[in-house]
Amino acid sequence: METIDYKLEAARKALTYVREGHTVGLGAGSTIAHLVRELAAAPGLRESISVVTASFNTRLLLQEHGFMIRETATVAQLDLHFDGCDQFDRSLTALKSGGGVHTLEKLLAAMAQRFILAGDGPKYVEKLLPTVPVVIELIPDALSFVQQALRRLYPDARPQLRLSNKKDGAVITERGNLLMDIFFTAFPPVAEINPQLKAIPGVLETSLFYRMAHEAIIAGKNGVTVVFP
Ligand code: 5RP
C-alpha cells in the first residue's frame, strides 16, 4: 500500500498561498524542506519571490535551488511566513524548537502579515500537552543562574540542558547560545509562561509561540484542512 507523506501534502497547500513578488519567511524542518522544493518547482515563482529563513539547513536548500535569499537584518515585514512545529492547539499556540532555531523563527513570525503553521495531523491537539518541552535559548554565562531561577519558578519541572548527540557537550546554537528543554508534568497557565521565562536575565527567547499564528494547514488521513484560531 502506498504511504502518503502528509507533510508534503501540507507543503503543497502552503504553496498555493504564495504569489509573485512576495517576501516569504521560512522556518525549519522537513515540512518546510518540502515547501522549498515545491516553490522551486512552481513555474516562475522562484525568480519572482524573495525569501528569508531562520534555519541554516533551510538556507542551504534554498541556495541549492537558486532562490533570492535576503538577510533577516534587512527585512522588517514579510508577506507570509511558514513554519512547522512540534505541537499546536486550537488557539494555534505552538511549541517548537525541534531544530533549536526558535529565536529567529519567532522573529520571522512576528514580522509576518500572515504566519501559517504547516504540518501533519498528529501535531494538532485540543490543548497543549506537556509531552513536548518548552525550550529556552540562553546566553552561556547565564547557565547556573537560569537553572537556579527555573528551580524556584517551577519546582516540579525538569529543565535539561540540551546535549549534543555526539556526546561532546552542550548543543551550541547558530548564535553561540545554549538551549534548555523544560519538561513540565503539567503546564502552568500557558499565557504566563513567556512573561515568566523572559523575565529571567540571560533568557533570550522561548519556543512557545503564544497565539502568534494566523492559520494552520493540517494534512492527515481526512485530507488537508486549514484552521483558524
Ligand atoms: C524547528 C521546528 C520544526 O518546525 C519542527 O520540529 C517540525 O519539523 P517537521 O516539519 O520536520 O515535522 O520547530 O524549530
Ligand 1 pocket member 205 (CB < 6 A)? no
Instruction: Inform me whether the pLDDT recorded for 97 exceeds 90.
Output: no
pLDDT tens-digit map of 60-70:
999 999 999 99
Instruction: Inform me whether the pLDDT recorded for 2 exceeds 80.
Output: no
The residue with cell 525538569 is 158
CA of 57 to the centre of ligand 1 (A): 12
**CATH of range 134-206; options 3.40.1400.10, 3.40.1280.10, 3.40.50.2000, 3.30.70.260:** 3.30.70.260
Instruction: Inform me whether the pLDDT recorded for 149 exceeds 70.
Output: yes
The CATH architecture one would assign to domain 6-124+210-227 is: 3-Layer(aba) Sandwich (3.40)
pLDDT tens-digit map of 152-175:
999 999 999 999 987 779 999 989
Give the mutation target among 8, 85, 123 for probing the ligand 1 site: most ligand atoms within 8 A of CB. 85
Instruction: Inform me whether the pLDDT recorded for 1 exceeds 80.
Output: no
Ligand 1 pocket member 86 (CB < 6 A)? yes
Instruction: Inform me whether the pLDDT recorded for 128 exceeds 70.
Output: yes
Instruction: Inform me whether the pLDDT recorded for 98 exceeds 90.
Output: no
Q: Where are the domains of the chain?
A: 6-124+210-227, 134-206
The mean pLDDT of the chain is: 96
* 135 φ/ψ angles, rounded to the nearest 5 degrees: -105, 140
